[in-house]
Structure 1
Amino acid sequence: MKEENFKTIARNKKAYHDYFVEESYEAGIELCGTEVKALRAGGCNLKDAWCAVEDGELLVRGMHISPYEHGNIFNRDPVRVRRLLMHKKEIMHLFGIVKQQGYSLIPLSIYFKGSLVKVQVGLCRGKKLYDKRADLAARAAKRDVDRAMKTQNR
């Protein structure tokens, strides 16, 4: 078996705060050359990104890829709509779930898999305010317990 190299470029931490992630899928992304070079330099922001199915294609909107500094006229618009590459059957399955059950498609992370750029797309359900508060309280309690265990083990 060949081992794949995974190098994470960016994570969407806000998505985990705002949504319950039910499932995740891997998709390729259609990029131009200077965008790939900008990603290798780490210039990507997924904070306000979301996905939509239009005309049988999965598109990602709001993803910001910084312009490549040596790209001059070949640089594209940093927040242009980009097409995600998945099988048509998978796209139609996701489209049905999003339309009927009120889920959202949110890009969770973008990474290199070997030399290819991949996007992890999550099928997400929105959190209410009390869910977010409960998560913050649980995280704070876990942090307090870890801190107490650390001081006790000294």
Structure 2
Amino acid sequence: MARPKLPEFDKQKTVAENRRARFEYFIEDVYEAGIALTGTEVKSLRFGEGSIAESYAEVKNGEVWLVNANVPEFSHGNRHNHVPRRPRKLLLREREIARLHGAVERKGMTLVPLSVYFNGRGRAKVELALAKGKNNADKRQTVKDRDWQRDKARIMRDNS
């Protein structure tokens, strides 16, 4: 009997997306992780501010941390406002953390955040990918494939 397909992540409102990640890396597995935030960080994200363009995740002491993600200070925050580029803890199950740690250590893979979003229950989530870096030839092939798919769609549209 075939294994049931897992449901796709329930993305209600996407806050930040790392569009460059799919060009720079081969995406192997995708995980949904919760993110530990302070109050002003949540408010800032709800306003649609935030960037994960240069960020990555790392496994330290059995925990996964999101490093270099930018959540700007909340405009109406007071002296208790947060630090914009602080490391943020990602919430995953121990089994998932062990699997990610093993892949990063043994296979030379990296953890790349693909997007930050709010799910249907209003919780902030990070779509985290286990990825392997592409070299320049692979990137050129990706551009060629994308151009061919676009041309193919144009030809099919014109001929129908």
Aligned to 1:32: 38
How many residue pairs align between the two structures? 150
The counterpart of 1:134, out of the listed 141, 149, 154, is 141
Segment of structure 1 superposing worse, 70-79 or 48-57: 70-79
* Deviation (angstroms), 1:5: 6.2
- Measured in 2, the distance between the counterparts of 1:121 and 1:73 equals 32
| Runs ≥4 residues deviating over 3 A | 148-153
Question: Does the residue aligned with 1:44 lie in a helix, a strand or coil?
Answer: coil
Question: Does the residue aligned with 1:124 lie in a helix, a strand or coil?
Answer: strand
- Measured in 2, the distance between the counterparts of 1:5 and 1:66 equals 22
The counterpart of 1:47, out of the listed 47, 53, 65, is 53
Query: Which protein has the bigger strand share?
Result: 1
Query: Which protein has the bigger helix share?
Result: 1
* Deviation (angstroms), 1:44: 1.2
* Deviation (angstroms), 1:152: 4.1
Aligned to 1:65: 71
The counterpart of 2:98, out of the listed 82, 86, 92, is 92
Unaligned runs of 5+ in 2: 1-9
Deviations 1:91-131 (A, max 9, x none): 12210111001010111111111210011110001111101
Using the size of structure 2 for normalisation, the TM-score is 0.88
Deviations 1:53-98 (A, max 9, x none): 1111100101111211111322211111000011122112210111
The counterpart of 1:149, out of the listed 149, 153, 156, is 156
- Measured in 2, the distance between the counterparts of 1:119 and 1:5 equals 10
Aligned to 1:16: 22
Identity over the aligned pairs, expressed in percent? Answer: 39
Using the size of structure 1 for normalisation, the TM-score is 0.91
- Measured in 1, the distance between the counterparts of 2:157 and 2:77 equals 49
Residue type at the aligned position of 2:139: K
Residue type at the aligned position of 1:40: R
- Measured in 2, the distance between the counterparts of 1:46 and 1:132 equals 21
